[in-house]
Structure 1
């Protein structure tokens, strides 16, 4: 082969080739080698050639070469002596392969692998590889999750050791599906079994990989124990009352719905709706934090009254729902109701104060009084309201008439709101007679409702509804304004002032602007305060004694007369009557009605009259229906009498004869 041809072949090679003679002088260098060393001679190349001449081993060694640009090139060498026919050394040949890029790629791969290994080792989730149910790899976090200090403690063990027995079949099925179908399944929640026997809640995910040349499962487990605990707390909070930890309305409704689904229509069971009586007053008296203590104590008493299968729920402020076990008849429900009423009525000791609380219960039964949770709850609540209306501290079974009564009540509430705007209210007046002169002393203003459909409605029907709804405040103000207007008219007609007594409800009496309102109404009608007498009941006065005293003193300073209605029917009367600026006390009609039926009523009436005289108070008796009653009261110096014996409540035009007679 010609030398030029050989040179062309060698120059076309990617590997560098360099040769020298027996004296180490370079005799040939192909283009690839020139590219490696650049324009400079390279001491390393000469040294490698000399080593080869001397028979030293330079095969498959890696060396750095610096070219003319000072760039480092890595080469892997293969050296060989050139021998003549007589086996003498003629020179040396060195082949150099540029492995710079290969080494760079290798280094990058090593660095990348190290980064990913570090990332896996430090990852805050469990990462593992299993092959044939053997744990081939697990990171530090995963080892600690299972309870090991070091991954080496558990690598090589069966992966099934760390799965609860009841879940192993599920995990095996998922593993087989992934390996057979070469698919990744959706993450799912499961549990791991720790070395100490405890379990860990995890969200698991896995996929198929090749690991050390074999099929394997790469898995990741995220510890969700804290999340599960947090979720359970949130769910618990969503379905339980925070004050008592009892089920709330939502949870009770769900449990009731489930029971209805489970039982047959021929199965009967009942539910209770229990509400504490007058609890708002207790809250106002003791303050809300102490009221909460009573609520918690009530919940404890309720749970002690029932068995573990009975559901006790707090569904609102002072309202509870109770669902005894299935197959409960009326007899059982009555006995349990009495047991609950007795338990609630026992004294509560709050900050050394003995408090008495009662409750009202309504009962509805499945399936006769409802086949859905909402209906049963609604009907139990209706029965509970009926208990409250009829005296409280008892229980009532639901029946359809209660629903009808509630419907009438709701219609009346709506009609009441329209009545003021449509001028449906009117005032009637009942005369009060002076026992010494037997003439008109004053009148009591009494509201009547001329309903557009139902005619004249008794106050006994609509006043309780107005008080419950709060509408009574607007009614009281209307009565006050109309009564003062009428006093002014009578003064213009007859030339003298007539004292008019106006009843105030508890809600109106405790309004902040009451004194201001009374003053403005009197001023607007140019009336002296002495012609107006405001009546409050004994129970109203005792509701908040300090606030009542303050209001009464302000009204007294204004010049308005004050009357204590229903005297003798309340409590602590004699203890407080001397402290309040009262002008008149009114003997309750119940004592007058029984005045000749028992000696006790006579004694009470005499005592009240004598008390009034001693305190220099005016005394009036209401409910006078017979001459005998009037004579008895006149004999014992009762100042004023009021009742049907003289006149029933009458409209303004029928009252004028009394006024004219009084003037005469």
Structure 2
């Protein structure tokens, strides 16, 4: 068999196999997928036309209409390949309005018009009386143009490689290089029709590296993954296509994993149900416990929301168990109109889901103009944070902690505060969350610790009056290498006893016990800094979590105080927890005390300390000095 036939038959087999697998796998009709389909078809066209030309030339029948059509098809497909590769690259880099792409599209159209004129003008080649095809003087220009665009592809890919994942950039540069080498081998070394084989190799590289099921399918649930969602949503927003997002947040999946160990099976079952009910299968798993279902019209969106409420109202049968899986649902309508980019849309959706309760089976958070306004304000705060950090604009408020036994204030909790020039005082939970998300918390907390230490250093009476100063530490801070050592060094640099400080750790942190967390806590304990478990009873921790870590103080969450004054189960539970924790050797701080009735009950139950507005609101340093001065005066 001639050499040309060997390459072409091999190319045809490879391309047909790739097309077969690509056609069967789950995928969406995004621009990158459609373009890869077009490249596969062009490659197959080059191969089929090459086989027809080989047979025609062998029979010296190049003037036959079929042979001429095959030559024309091969020229069109070869000329289209570098443009299609450039289009895939531009969409991978998210350059939907790239000037280079617009220029390439115009030149591609002009070039195709010239190629289509070849049967009449012979601008590239023409059949001769000897039955063979003879190339014209412009053939070298045709080949050179294709080679030039492949080199443009390579430069474009290399220049914007940082905007892609490594595997994507590598696959694109390899595909461009293979096509360029194939073109050179065909025209310099006269390996005729070798570009068909090179095209098949390039397609295989692109398919397996970028568009195979391994690249965008979530292995645990077999639906589309977060990477694919980010790209697909970007394309929808960029093209201003109508997009409705129904987001699902499985609030208790982590608890189900720890209790039943069936979270993977449950996730797969839920994903199957979501896949079946979504009209166009626009279903994505964006996080371990979060899903996104998308549609392009309000009718389907409302149908999905109603059906989801039914699904999560019922129990799931998993591994012989009936498991209830609470969920928060939200809808983002016309995402293409309200958001400039994917990150804004996803952050807004996440902000809606955060408003849901962990204690309700199914809760729907509506997308309203007020919530969008709140999110716009959140963006302003996020943009203001770098300036606030650079100019040290944060402040400290000290909320006194009252000892029921000693009948005096024995400690304070240091609380960060920030005032925006337009929005006024910002909710601390908001700017702390934003600082944690953007990695700014590692700059904020040491800066605040310096401010607290300066206050204590310049007011020695405060150190004598107060037993402890409490500060909150986030999970990210506790596991950051060298961070705790830095905090200790700051305290010691002001010659303040480290024993004066007590770091508060939330329940969620206590449940995520890791070697890094253990090492940080040991470092703090060795320095004499005690630990307080914050928000106990808010829904995460249990007694086994407490026993793991060397806490000396337990803060009862304010939510537990609801209805305690009415007696009944709430009061019995609170009282029994106080007795249990006392028996285990812990001091108890009741948080959120706002009424005299609550304070009286807690006194009867022998709670150690109280923190709340009933005794004192968060104070400025001047107000705190005055409060402690009055306390000393009463003595």
Q: Quote the offset at 1:364 in angstroms.
A: 2.4
Instruction: Pick from 426, 444, 448 the counterpart of residue 457 of structure 1.
Output: 426
Deviation, structure 1 residue 556: 1.5
1:324–1:436 distance in 2 versus 1, CA, 3 Å: closer
- Aligned residue in 1 for 2:244: 271
Shift of 1:413: 0.8
Alignment of 1:208 onto 2:127: yes
Cα distance per residue 1:619-643 (max 9 Å; x no partner): 1112222222222222222111222
Q: Which among 343, 351, 354 is matched to residue 389 of structure 1?
A: 354
**Are positions 1:171 and 2:66 aligned together?**
yes
Offset, 1:520: 0.4
Distance 1:187 1:511, change over 3 A: closer
2: CA distance, partners of 1:433 / 1:613: 18
Q: In the alignment, is the contact (CA less than 8 A) between 1:435 and 1:638 conserved in 2? A: yes
Q: Partner of 1:476 in structure 2?
A: 445
Structure 1 or 2: larger helix share?
2
> Partner residue of 1:595?
564
**2:305 is matched with which residue: 334, 342, 348?**
334
**Structure 1's 599 and 297: CA in aligned 2 closer, same or farther, altered over 3 A?**
closer
SS of equivalent residue, structure 1 residue 414: helix
Of residues 519, 524, 529, the one that matches 2:488 is: 519
The separation in 2 between residues aligned to 1:361 and 1:231, in whole angstroms, is 42
1:424·1:451 contact (CA, 8 Å) conserved in 2?
no
User: 1:275 Cα deviation (Å)?
Assistant: 7.2
Q: Which whole-Å CA distance do the structure 1 matches of 2:194 and 2:313 have between them?
A: 51
1:447 corresponds to: 416
Change (3 A) 1:312 1:438: closer
Say whether 1:653 aligns with 2:572.
Answer: no
Report the alpha carbon displacement of residue 531 of structure 1 after superposing the two structures with TM: 1.0
Q: Distance in 1 between matches of 2:556 and 2:377?
A: 34
Q: Which residue does 1:430 correspond to in 2?
A: 399
By how many angstroms is 1:500 displaced? 1.1
Moved more, 538-547 or 294-303: 294-303
The Cα offsets for residues 99-134 of structure 1, whole Å up to 9 and x where unpaired, read as xxxxxxxxxxxxxxxxxxxxx96666899xxxxxxx
1:17-57 CA deviation, whole Å, 9 max, x = no partner?
Answer: xxxxxxxxxxxxxxxxxxxxxxxxxxxxxxxxxxxxxxxxx
Tell me the alpha carbon deviations over residues 575-627 of structure 1, each in whole angstroms, 9 at most, x when there is no partner. Answer: 13233211111112222342113422222222232223212221111222222
Provide the secondary structure at the position in 2 that maps to 1:624: coil
The offset of 1:400, in angstroms, is 4.0
Higher strand share: 1
Give the aligned partner of residue 187 of structure 1. 75
Which residue of the partner structure matches residue 303 of structure 1? 275
Q: Is the CA contact (8 Å cut-off) linking 2:246 and 2:304 kept in structure 1?
A: no
Q: Residues of 2 paired with 1:185 and 1:642: CA distance? A: 81
Task: Give the Cα–Cα distance (whole angstroms) in 2 for the partners of residues 556 and 530 of structure 1.
Answer: 9
State TM-score, norm by structure 2: 0.60
Shift in CA distance, 375/520, structure 1 to aligned 2, threshold 3 Å: closer
TM-aligned CA deviation for residue 276 of structure 1: 6.2
Give the secondary-structure state (helix, strand or coil) at the position aligned to 2:457. helix
Deviation at 1:280, TM superposition (A): 13
Question: Does 641-650 or 391-400 show the bigger shift?
Answer: 391-400
Per-residue CA deviations over 1:218-266 (Å, capped at 9, x if unaligned) read: 8998376655544544564555664334566556666888995xxxxxx
> Residues 230 and 511 (structure 1 numbering): CA distance in 2 closer, same or farther, change over 3 Å?
same
User: In the aligned structure 1, how far is the partner of 2:289 from the partner of 2:593?
Assistant: 42
Contact 1:431 1:642 in 2 (8 A): yes
Q: Aligned partners of 1:522, 1:571: CA distance in 2, in Å?
A: 31
Gaps of 5+ in 2: 9-46, 79-118, 136-190, 218-223
Q: How far apart, CA to CA, are the structure 2 residues paired with 1:124 and 1:652?
A: 87
Equivalent of residue 535 in structure 1, options 504, 507, 511: 504
Partners of 1:302 and 1:432 in 2: CA distance: 49
How far apart in 2 are the matches of 1:325 and 1:362?
A: 12
In structure 2, C-alpha distance between the alignment counterparts of 1:418 and 1:510, rounded to whole Å: 26
Q: CA deviation at 1:524?
A: 0.5
CA 1:404–1:347: 2 relative to 1, 3 Å: farther
**Bigger radius of gyration:** 1
Answer yes or no: is the 8 Å Cα contact 1:348–1:355 preserved in 2. no
Is there any run of 5+ residues in structure 1 with no aligned partner, and where? 1-119, 128-140, 161-167, 179-183, 191-203, 261-268
2:538 to 569, 588, 595: 569
Matches of 2:247 and 2:311 in 1, distance apart?
Answer: 9
What residue number does 1:632 align with? 601
Figure out how many residues of one structure are paired with residues of the other and give that number: 474
Rounded Cα–Cα distance in structure 1 between residues aligned with 2:544 and 2:285 = 39
Mapped partners of 1:330, 1:554: distance in 2: 52
Is the 8 Å Cα contact of residues 330 and 367 (structure 2) preserved in structure 1?
no
Q: What is the deviation of 1:435?
A: 1.2
Query: Could you tell me whether the CA contact under 8 Å between 2:62 and 2:132 is conserved in 1?
Result: no
CA–CA distance in 1 between the matches of 2:619 and 2:389?
A: 20
State the SS of the aligned residue for 1:478. Answer: helix
Matches within 5 A, 1:54-93: none
